Amino acid sequence: MHAASHLILASTSRYRRELLERLHLPFTVQAPETDETPRTGEQPAQLAERLSLAKALAVARQSPQAWVIGADQVADLEGEPIGKPGDLARAQAQLERLSGRTVVFQTGLALVRAADGWQRSIVVPVKVRFRTLSAAQIARYLALEPAIDCAGSAKSEGLGISLLESIESDDPTALIGLPLIALGRILREAGLDPLAA
């Protein structure tokens, strides 16, 4: 990748940064200024795709020659968006509600370049079945791994995996917040193949 093809991750998430590092492409990180308020009647998958594109475009306006990656994730409980809890009390309540249920984590992904208007956006769903959990099990989990910054309050890459019965996905890193298989496909389409010599 040459200098004119600078890559920016429009995210403050350390999880997304760590995932993108796996592709061995040089990139920088920039926080997007984006209103994440859901629109009336907006379905979780639509919200995830809209926000991923909005984040990428917000950063791309400041660096029009760069390729900008945006991502967003919304937990989808039968059409209802479930966001980040923000504190332990809400995380406890959220996990009690998700106990024994199936949630689809909708991960939006976008790649844009403002200079020529190039943009692609998709949503990668991950179906997650939560085990039936007691309030004490949830409290113990949150004491060990306070997942207040994750939609659905469970970090599958850590102890949160113990909360789950199953995960169904064609793109396993989507659940952590950045679907690398889909991203690789879009990067190749843009001429940014991580395996190109």
Catalytic residue among 72, 76, 171, 193: 72
User: SS3 for the chain, per residue?
Assistant: CCHHHCEEEECCCHHHHHHHHCCCCCCEECCCCCCCCCCCCCCHHHHHHHHHHHHHHHHHCCCCCCEEEEEEEEEEECCEEECCCCCHHHHHHHHHHHCCCEEEEEEEEEEEECCCCEEEEEEEEEEEEECCCCHHHHHHHHHHCCCCCCCCCCCCCCHHHHHEEEEECCCHHHHHCCCHHHHHHHHHHCCCCCCCC
- 72 is known as an active-site residue: yes
Instruction: List residues with catalytic annotation.
Output: 72
